[in-house]
A and B are shown apart, each in its own frame.
Chain A
Amino acid sequence: MATKTSNPNSPTKFQKFFRNNYGFLFVLLWLVGFSVFRLYPFISSLIYSFSDFNLFKGISEWGLMNYQEIFANKKIMSSLGITFSYAFVTVPLKLAFALFIAYILNYKIKGVGLFRTAYYIPSILGGSVAIAVLWKALFRDEGLINAVIRTFGGEGVNWLAEPDYALFIISLLRVWQFGSAMVLFLAALKGVSVELYEAATIDGASKARQFFSITVPLITPVVFYNLVTQLCQAFQEFNGPYIITQGGPRGATTLLSLLIYNRAFQDYEMGMASAMAWVLFVIVMVLSLIAFMSQKYWVYYGDEK
C-alpha cells in the first residue's frame, strides 16, 4: 500500500496501530463465530421469551405471559423440582465417589493405571446412546439387575416404571461416569506434599483427622471446579431421561430440559420454550454465583497474597 510520508522509514499512524494490534486478527474468526452463533441467539432468545413466537404462526402478542404461565403451571413447577432433586442427588454422589476412589488410588497401589482406565471408560462412553440403551437393558423389569436380585432370592423392582426409583436410576447413569472428576481429584491429591502428612503423623493425628484437616482443604480448588462444572451439566441433562424413560413414569423423570425440548420441537412454541430456557439459565447462573462468592469461605488457594 502506498503511504504519503516524506520519510519512508517513519511509520504512519495506521502502520503503528497495525503493528501494535494485529494479534486481533487471530481472534477475529472466533469473534465472528461468537457474535453469529452465540451472542445473537442468546439475545434473541431473551427477546423471544417475551413473545408468543410460534415457528409457523409467527408472533401475535408480546408480554410477560410465558413467565406467568411457567410459575402458574403445575407441570412445569414440578418438573423444576425434579430437575433440582436430580442435580442434588447426582452431583454430591458423583463427587463423593470420585474423591473416595481417588483417595484410595493415591496410596502406593500396584496397577494404578489399570484401575484408572477401568474407572475412566464410563466417562468417555457414558454420553453415547449405546450406553443409554445398555442402561435400559440393565434396569428394565426383566433386565440384568433384577435377574441378579432374583438369583439371590430377592424380589425384583420394576425400576424404570416406579416413579420413586426411575429418577434415581437416571442419576446413577451419571454417577457411574465419575471417572473424569476422579482423575482431577487424583491429580490434586498427588500435589499435596508428603511432608505435611509425615509432620501430622508425628504429631499423632489420625488418618481421618489428616484427611479432613490436610487433604480436603488443600484440594478445595478442584472440589470447587468439579462442583461448578457438574452442576452446570446436571441442570442440562437430556439424553438419559429422553432415551431411557421418555420422561416417565408419570412424569417422574421429566427434567426441565425435556419440557423445553417438547415445547420447542414438538409444539414449535419457541417463545414459551425460550422463557423456560431462561428460567433454567438464571437458576444455573445464580447457583454458580453462589458457588463463586462462597469461595472465599471454603476454597483454599495456595498462592494467595
Chain B
Amino acid sequence: MNYTQLQKVGTVVKYIILILVGFIMVYPLIWMVGATFKTNNEIFSNLTPFTAHPTLDGYKNAMNDYGGKINIFKAMLNTYSYVLPKVIFTVISATVTAYGFGRFKFIGKGVLFSVLMATLFLPQVVMNVPQFILYNKFNWVDSDLYLPLIIPSLFAFDTYFVFMIIQFLRGIPRELDEAATIDGCNAIQTLILVICPMLKPAIVSCALFQFMWSSNDYMGPLLYVKTPENYPAAIFVRLSMDADTGFEWNRVLAVSLISIIPSLVVFFCAQKQFIEGVSAGSVKG
C-alpha cells in the first residue's frame, strides 16, 4: 500500500470510530423516545426504537396525578417558576460583580478577587449542612416561593458565572468605557449602554448554562421542597420511578422524556452558544 492509500484507510477508520461511538452515545436516548410508545411487554424485548403496535398508554398514564396533588405539568411549572427568576437574577448579579472586578480599582480588590476564585473550588457538599441550618433559621425551608433556591442567585452566588463574564470582559477594549465617560455617561450608564451589548455572547452563555443546571438540579429541591404541591419535575420524575419500578416503564420513561423536552428544545435552538460557551469560560460539567 502506498501513502495515499494508507491515508484513505486511516480516514475510513476514523469515520467508523466516530460513527460507532456516536451511535453508542446517542442510542439510549433514541431508544428511550421509542420506548415511550411501546407497551410494557414490548419495551425490553424490542431492542429497536420502532414498534409495530405503537400505543399512547405511556403518555396517557404519564398524566396521572401523584396523590391527587401534583402531575407532571404542574411539576414542570414549579420547576420553571424558580429556574427563570434564578437565571435572570444570576445574569444581572454576575454581570454587575464582574464589571466591578473587571473595570475598577478599589482597596482590597486583590484579596477579594482571590476569595472569589477560591469559592470556585469550594465543594458544595461541605456547604449543604450549614446552609440548610441557616435557611432553616430564616424559615425558608419548604417556602412556597422557593426562597433557598432563588435568593442566593440575587447575590452572584454561582461565582463560576462571574469568572466567565470577567474573562469575556477582558477582551472588550477599555477605550469604549473611556469614550462613554467623555460622552457624559456615568459608570452605571456605561455598564448598561456600552458594556452589556458587548457582553451579549457571555450573558447568553451564562443564562443557558444556569438554565440547564438549575433545571437538572436535584439536591436543591430534595433539601428545600417538602410540600408535594410544590414538587418540581426532578422530584416528580424520581417519585414516579419509585412508585412504578418493574411494571410501568412506558409511563416512567414518558414522564422522564416530557420533563426534559424544554431542555432539549433550548439545547437544539442554541447549540452553537453552548459549545462556544464551554470553550470561552472553560465550563465545568
Instruction: Identify the A interface with B (CB < 8 A).
Output: 20-27, 29-34, 36-38, 40-42, 44-45, 48, 55, 101, 104-105, 107, 109, 115-125, 127-131, 133-134, 136-138, 142-144, 147-148, 151, 176-177, 180, 183-184, 187, 225, 228-229, 232-233, 235-236, 238-239, 242-243, 257, 260-261, 264-265, 270, 273-274, 277-278, 280-281, 284-285, 288
Contacts and interface: CB of A to CB of B under 8 A. Distances in A.
Contacts of A121: 25-26, 29, 267
Given A42-B122, A238-B125, 19 more contacts: A27-B112, A38-B122, A41-B130, A109-B18, A119-B21, A120-B274, A120-B275, A128-B260, A130-B260, A134-B28, A137-B32, A184-B282, A228-B121, A235-B125, A236-B123, A260-B129, A264-B128, A281-B123, A285-B121
Contacts of B129: 45, 48, 260, 264, 270, 273-274, 277
Nearest to B134: A41
B31 interface: yes
A180 B283 contact: yes
Interface in B238-282: 238, 241, 245, 249, 252-253, 256-257, 259-260, 263-264, 267, 271, 274-275, 278-279, 282
A273 B125 CA distance: 10
Nearest to A103: B14
Nearest to A37: B152
Interface residues of B, number: 92
B127 to A, nearest CB: 5
17 contacts: A26-B104, A26-B187, A30-B155, A30-B159, A30-B162, A33-B156, A42-B127, A104-B14, A143-B44, A144-B44, A144-B47, A180-B285, A235-B125, A238-B219, A260-B128, A265-B223, A280-B123
A45 B285 contact: no
Contacts of A143: 44
Contact of A26 (B96, B245, B252): B96
Interface centre among A20, A24, A40, by most chain B C-beta atoms within 10 angstroms, is A24
Contacts of A285: 121
A151 B223 CA distance: 43
A23 B106 contact: yes
Contacts of B28: 134, 138, 144
B155 A33 contact: yes
A277 B115 contact: no
Given A20-B105, A118-B26, A184-B278, A136 B241 contact: yes
Nearest to B23: A118
A25 B237 CA distance: 43
A133 B252 contact: yes
Contact of B125 (A55, A120, A177, A260): A260
Given A107-B14, A115-B18, A121-B29, A142 B44 contact: yes
A133 B241 contact: yes
Contacts of A229: 284
B103 A23 contact: yes
B45 interface: yes
A37 B47 contact: no
Given A24-B107, A44-B133, A232-B121, A29 B126 contact: no
A130 B130 contact: no
A288 B121 contact: yes
Given A37-B157, A124-B263, A128-B259, A55 B97 contact: no
B233 to A, nearest CB: 8
B133 A55 contact: yes
A266 to B, nearest CB: 12
A101 B282 contact: no
Given A37-B131, A144-B44, A183 B279 contact: yes
Q: Interface centre among A121, A128, A257, by most B CB within 10 Å?
A: A128
B149 interface: no
A123 B285 contact: yes
B150 interface: no
Interface stretch (B51-59, B63-71, B199-207, B210-218): B210-218
A278 B256 CA distance: 35
A27 B100 contact: yes
